Amino acid sequence: MSMQLKERPVPNGVILEMTGDLTYANREHFKTAVEAIRQKGCRHLILNMAGVRFVDSSGLGLLALVSQNFKLNQGKVSMLKPQSYVREIMSLANIPKLIPVYDNEQDALAGHQQAA
């Protein structure tokens, strides 16, 4: 399963619309896209996961790495609307502890964290 990525600028950040699976096979595609956004000086990356059906162990590692890299530049990463199966995988790995999860764009932009 491939992955489509679409960038959309928002005030003080970038929303990355993701569709497909975030897996080992798509890691380079995702890494390259996110790194390009970070290089442009983006401080807040919002990953819209609504179109993501599955995240494998490689995908989780990438999310942790991306979050660490943004923190190095005083930036942050948030996640928007993960599907229930993905949300379950995320919670098991305690990812919301590193990357806050939001259910709508306004909250993500405002940075008010909701219970994951």
d(CA 5, CA 100): 20
Q: In the block, which residue shows the tokens 């996961």? A: 49
Chain residues 43-102 in contact with another protein, contact rule CB under 8 A: 53-54, 56-58, 60-62, 64-66, 68, 85, 89, 91-95, 97-98
Q: Which ranges constitute the DSSP H helices of the chain?
A: 27-39, 57-72, 84-92, 105-110
CB of 20 to another protein, least distance (A): 10
Q: In the block, which residue shows the tokens 């599955």? A: 54
Q: In the block, which residue shows the tokens 């919670």? A: 91
**By rule CB under 8 A, what string of x and - marks binding of each residue 3-42 to another protein?**
------------------x--x--x---x-----------
Which residues of the shown chain bind another protein in the complex (CB under 8 A)?
1, 21, 24, 27, 31, 53-54, 56-58, 60-62, 64-66, 68, 85, 89, 91-95, 97-98
